[in-house]
Chain A
Amino acid sequence: SQQGEEDPQALSIQEGENATMNCSYKTSINNLQWYRQNSGRGLVHLILIRSNEREKHSGRLRVTLDTSKKSSSLLITASRAADTASYFCATDGGYGQNFVFGPGTRLSVLP
């Protein structure tokens, strides 16, 4: 089965710096989605990138997808303390395939 795997598992940066998180998966996908989760709270959808897209932007977020390497990256620019959360990638193989989350990256942005 396909599985998203985040890298790194934990990341600590200073406010204003950029944060890059990576995700790898194993099988073909229909789309890949990134979510944020504050401690013990619900998942917030950040961005969806389809398998035929290579890059997508949303505010301070930039997501890339390389289907040949089965990997994606999430870049948060000019980070803020409020960005402190866990970030998950989730792969969607389309109808009939499980929607699978990776283990998540815990991002700490220090003021």
Chain B
Amino acid sequence: AAGVIQSPRHLIKEKRETATLKCYPIPRHDTVYWYQQGPGQDPQFLISFYEKMQSDKGSIPDRFSAQQFSDYHSELNMSSLELGDSALYFCASSGGPRGSYEQYFGPGTRLTVT
């Protein structure tokens, strides 16, 4: 069965650079979530989208923005990168409004900021 696809899988950036992470949800899933997991930390919810509209917002820094496109894929844009942004970034998708369906996670993008 198709799973959530994230690209790139690994990304190395320097401080103050920008990065764009992409997420392709499971087909027919209309909700996408972004999470950040620092080393040894639990995942922290960043932001979610339902039917291309932002549906929920967590601890996403102002330097980050995200959107969901007409084909339901999502992109997380990160600017003015800081060393503390080094983490695993997970995208998850679900098949309906959040709270009703399981979230299925992608493999993650490991971002390293040097």
The interface of chain A, by Cβ under 8 A from chain B, is 30-31, 33, 35, 40-45, 48, 88, 92-104
The interface of chain B, by Cβ under 8 A from chain A, is 33, 35, 42-45, 48, 55-56, 58, 88, 90, 92, 97-100, 102-108, 110
Contact among B33, B55, B90 with A95 in the assembled complex (CB-CB below 8 Å): B55
Chain B: CB-nearest residue to A99? B45
Q: Is the CB of B103 within 8 A of A95?
A: no
Across chains A and B, which 10 residue pairs bring their CB atoms closest together, nearest first? A94-B99, A43-B105, A42-B107, A101-B42, A30-B99, A101-B43, A42-B105, A48-B102, A103-B42, A98-B58
Q: Is the CB of B108 within 8 A of A92?
A: no
Q: Is the CB of A96 within 8 A of B56?
A: yes
A98 CA to B88 CA, complexed, in Å: 19
Contact among A42, A88, A94, A101 with B108 in the assembled complex (CB-CB below 8 Å): A42
Q: Is the CB of A45 within 8 A of B104?
A: yes
Q: Is the CB of B105 within 8 A of A99?
A: no
Q: A44 to chain B: which residues have CB within 8 Å?
A: 105
Q: B102 to chain A: which residues have CB within 8 Å?
A: 33, 45, 48
Q: A101 to chain B: which residues have CB within 8 Å?
A: 35, 42-45
Chain A: CB-nearest residue to B48? A99
Q: Is the CB of A98 within 8 A of B56?
A: yes
Q: A96-B56, A98-B45, A98-B58 are in contact. Are A41 and B108 (CB under 8 A)?
A: yes
Q: B43 to chain A: which residues have CB within 8 Å?
A: 43, 88, 101
Q: A41-B107, A43-B90, A98-B56 are in contact. Are A92 and B42 (CB under 8 A)?
A: no
